[in-house]
Amino acid sequence: MKAKTNFKKGSRMAWYHYTLHIKSLILSAFILTGIQTTLQAQEIQFTKPSWWFGAAAGANFNYYSGSTQEVYSDFTAPAAFHNGYGLGLYLAPLLEFHRPDSRLGFMLQAGYDSRKGSFKRVWTPCDCLADLFVDLSYITVEPSLRLAPFKSNFYLYGGPRFAFNMAKSFTYEIGINPDYPDQEANPDVTGDFSKMNKSIFSMQIGAGYDIPLSSQNKQKQTVLSPFVSFQPYFGQNPRSIETWNVTTLRVGAALKFGRGHKISAPAKAVVIAPVIVVVPDPEVKFSVISPTNIPVARRVRETFPIRNYVFFDLGSTEIPDRYVLITKDQVKDFREDRLEVFTPKRLSGRSARQMTVYYNVLNILGDRMGRNPSAIVRLTGASMEGPEDGMAMAESVKRYLVGVFGIDASKINTEGRIKPRIPSEQPGGTLELDLLREGDHRVSIWSESPAILMEYQTGPDAPLKPVEIVAVQEAPLDSYVTFNVEGAKESFSSWSLEVRDEKGIVQKFGPYTQEKMSIPGKTILGTRPEGDFKVTMTGQTKSGKTVKKETPVHMVLWTPPENEQGMRYSIIFEFNESQAIVIYEKYLTDIVTPKIPKGGTVIIHGHTDIIGDEAHNLELSLARANEVRSIIESALSKAGRSDVKFEVYGFGEDESLSPFENKFPEERFYNRTVIIDIIPLSKFSDQLSLILIKRGCLKKIRQPLLFSINCNKK
């Protein structure tokens, strides 16, 4: 057995020599890549060439896979040969094009390509060792796309390989049986492989690095480019029979020559003094509109929508205690126009009158069903904990309506779901899921009865018929102090305000990015009836510069009204914006528009809850408000009217201006709203205008009820 292992040491040692060659060539390539001899003179007079010509040389490390046995038609080896390796020579002239400092280019190499090697020795049936040596070579054409990803000397390349067979010879050697050392040696068998593919189509990918060998102040330039490429076995089947395949790793270097173009540049360096460019201040206009807030009496008759949802606390199927729940004895005293008698146990604190209406939603529903015995409702409970949990929530509402208001149980259908039919959480959503899921943990009230639902609406998202309430309006939008910074979007990254009163007390607001910002006068004045202020606007330009503008302003605190004048309507939106407008279009056209008096003013302001991106919510609220305006304007136009003035605002999620807080899901749902204030043209303002005009005091009319007055006459 020892004789077998020592037989033909030369072929056994081949891989050791190939390994040394591989190591030395790869090491040389890395050394050349890491050393870039910069020979550029101080005077660069020629560009880098775009066209390069030269030659490439390298070693092919060939790896055979598969097997072969029939070397030609008249000779088949006693045993099949499997896998192998070898070292071949690669020589090729080259052409290359890539513009200086560009990423893309083109390469073409065409030349001699050796796939020489030998298969691993095998034992034949005569207990003899056999070797098969291969001398396989091609004329290769390799066009490639060149990519320099960093616009540097490092580049990648790849493309097809077209190879045409040149040589296909073999040498077959078989030894003697070591048990019979005196027998005569077998002669070698040589010849050409049969059934060889004349052409091969495959591919290659590689990388290289250009090392300048000459200075750029010379027209003729030379570059040495070490490279490595990989040519996988795809398409590299040498023969049309058997399974022999070749994979090649090529390591080498290319020597390239190019000719640069002359640059018109002075021989000596010239120091150029820097040019100082004075950048003027951005063109912005700053103004403050502070209404005089003449105490025109205004109270609001508000048509308040009743959201058809009852929100449950997470982990509970009982009606939350913030909802107003009455007893059987109190049913006879319950009236929709006197809801202040039945107040919730706890409120967030803002818009208490409106939320008192909503928190009586179960009592309003029970009262309406009691007065309309034929009405049928469906209660759909939704819970992420499962349909059974949702059903338990719906049954809690049903028990209250049946037990307290005596509603026929057959008129109330219940069901449980995991999500409501119109969920707030959208598929694929990842942000603020806790708030969205809290809003989806609810019971939806669904009915087809017009005695229960809002006018012209039906379906699971239709609110209940609104309740009309009369309330003293808190500071309306037309009493806010408005700060205008025209051009802020183009010139500023942000701007802020500093408001200083007569005593030097400073209040700061901002930063803001929009061009217009309104702040309630009460926020600035507090309990003072009026005051003089100096307002400083400080803007930060996009280049980092600071711009300041100042203006004095006199502010007057808005006075709560005494007499009824205004009307207010609200429409509320689901998380899906488009459905809300479709639902409310007929309501806005047939209910709201006819209530607008001749010469009146319509103030429309949109809001959102705090869920979502702040900038997106600002755009969303304004888009909803403008959509409402367009519907009302269209209805007025069809009626032949053009006497109404509009003011449209979008406040987004601004919590200082939102109608409600955002503590509970019902408050967030009500903040997804557009509010419509209808202000009539009062006789009081007409008479006051005439007096002021006669005295020469009226300088500017902002809208029928707001004036800027500067009059010293008595």
- Beta bridge pairs of residue 674: 571, 606
Does residue 360 lie in a domain region?
A: yes
Domain boundary residue among 562, 577, 598? 562
Residue 657 belongs to domain with CATH number: 3.30.1330.60
Does residue 197 lie in a domain region?
A: yes
Residue 654: per-residue pLDDT: 85
> Which residues in 607-628 are b (16+ Cβ under 10 Å) and which e?
bbbbbbeeeebbebbbebbbbb
pTM: 0.46
**Residue 461: Cβ-neighbour burial (10 angstroms; 0-12, 13-18, 19+):** buried
Residue 5: per-residue pLDDT: 35
Residue 165: per-residue pLDDT: 94
Does residue 710 lie in a domain region?
A: no
Q: Indicate if 470 and 543 belong to the same structural domain.
A: yes
Q: Indicate if 204 and 122 belong to the same structural domain.
A: yes
The half-sphere exposure of 374 on its side-chain side, counting CA atoms within 13 A, is 4
First to last CA, the chain: 131
CA distance 353 to 361: 14
Q: Indicate if 500 and 583 belong to the same structural domain.
A: no
Does residue 372 lie in a domain region?
A: yes
Q: Indicate if 361 and 421 belong to the same structural domain.
A: yes
Q: Indicate if 185 and 293 belong to the same structural domain.
A: no
Residue 13: per-residue pLDDT: 40
Mean pLDDT, 10 residues at a time, over the chain (714 residues)?
Answer: 37 44 50 42 67 94 93 87 94 91 90 94 87 94 93 91 94 86 84 92 94 82 94 92 94 92 56 53 73 58 85 92 90 81 70 83 90 90 93 95 93 93 77 84 87 64 73 61 81 86 87 80 80 88 83 78 68 64 80 89 90 87 90 92 90 84 87 88 48 40 36 37
Does residue 590 lie in a domain region?
A: yes
Q: Indicate if 394 and 478 belong to the same structural domain.
A: no
Residue 300 belongs to domain with CATH number: 2.60.40.10
Residue 179: per-residue pLDDT: 80
Q: Indicate if 152 and 195 belong to the same structural domain.
A: yes
Residue 186: per-residue pLDDT: 84
Residue 699: per-residue pLDDT: 38
Q: Indicate if 190 and 230 belong to the same structural domain.
A: yes
Domain boundary residue among 562, 588, 607? 562
Number of domains in the chain: 4
Pairing of strands 601-606, 464-472: unpaired
Q: Indicate if 73 and 147 belong to the same structural domain.
A: yes
Identity of the amino acid at 244: W
- Nearest Cα to 699, choosing from 533, 565, 554, 561? 554
Q: What tokens were used for 510? A: 């901002």
Does residue 147 lie in a domain region?
A: yes
Q: Indicate if 444 and 471 belong to the same structural domain.
A: no
Does residue 711 lie in a domain region?
A: no
- In the 8-state DSSP scheme, what is residue 478? G
Domain boundary residue among 507, 540, 562? 562
Q: Indicate if 541 and 627 belong to the same structural domain.
A: no
Residue 629: per-residue pLDDT: 92
Print the domain residue range for 209. Answer: 2-259
CA distance 636 to 22: 87
Does residue 361 lie in a domain region?
A: yes
Q: Indicate if 555 and 610 belong to the same structural domain.
A: no
